Structure 1
């Protein structure tokens, strides 16, 4: 008697669905605002910057609704950031330079939820871009 392997296929598909469910972030509830476990909390529509690596130290929160798109936003004089979360829904470029000069280090992060525990340089300014 020949079998088509349907029970085995069903088991494989069920296991794959469980793996995918664990990898896809939810979009509701407080767990989403906190991000993945152990990472910095930052609400939807915000760019959050921490003074120290691993989301520690003083946190600065910038709301998308109050930022000038495509404009350089310098952090307050004498401050910098070493970790960040981008939940603005827009790309954000961070700069080593407080004037957003591209002669220093800079990096762009997508806006669909990026948790960066350690920037490769001191962030002193950023730009939020139009999509």
Structure 2
């Protein structure tokens, strides 16, 4: 794992509330989620972090949840399919409250040749992605 990815992951982990860690929230870098995992209970936004509605994946173009958010819901996304962001759009901050794991990709084609990371769906706030997000994939569970 690259040092910058590790540093970003450690920084993001520091922002996860202690209750989420105690409940077993896990980050699975560079792996597809296992189907037998139970879903953690959805959480409200930790103090000082961006709001994102329950059941949504929210993406911001700049770090620290700044700029106009792109909001994606399960009803408009094909599960386990690559969803490229619109041409010229990208994200550098995200919140996953879909209730399902989401993998973000540096590649617009969800290629694993670039950077990618999987975030749990019960409530994950990432103010600074370790790379520019150009596509994502929402997993069944």
2:58 is paired with a residue whose SS is strand
Cα shift at 1:65: 1.8
- 2:132 paired with 1:122: yes
Cα shift at 1:110: 0.6
Cα distance between partner residues in 2 of 1:90 and 1:121? 21
Aligned-CA RMSD value: 2.0
Please list every run of 5 or more consecutive structure 1 residues that lacks an aligned counterpart in the other structure: 1-21
The TM-score with structure 1 as length reference comes to 0.75
Q: After TM superposition, what 4+ stretches of structure 1 lie above 3 angstroms from structure 2?
A: 22-25
Q: Which of the pair is proportionally richer in strand?
A: 1
- 2:51 paired with 1:41: yes
Q: How many residues align?
A: 105
Q: Which of the pair is proportionally richer in helix?
A: 1
Cα distance between partner residues in 1 of 2:108 and 2:56? 20
Among 105, 113, 121, which residue is 1:103 paired with? 113
Cα distance between partner residues in 2 of 1:58 and 1:110? 23
2:64 is paired with a residue whose SS is helix
Cα distance between partner residues in 2 of 1:104 and 1:23? 31
Cα distance between partner residues in 1 of 2:101 and 2:52? 16
Cα distance between partner residues in 1 of 2:50 and 2:134? 19
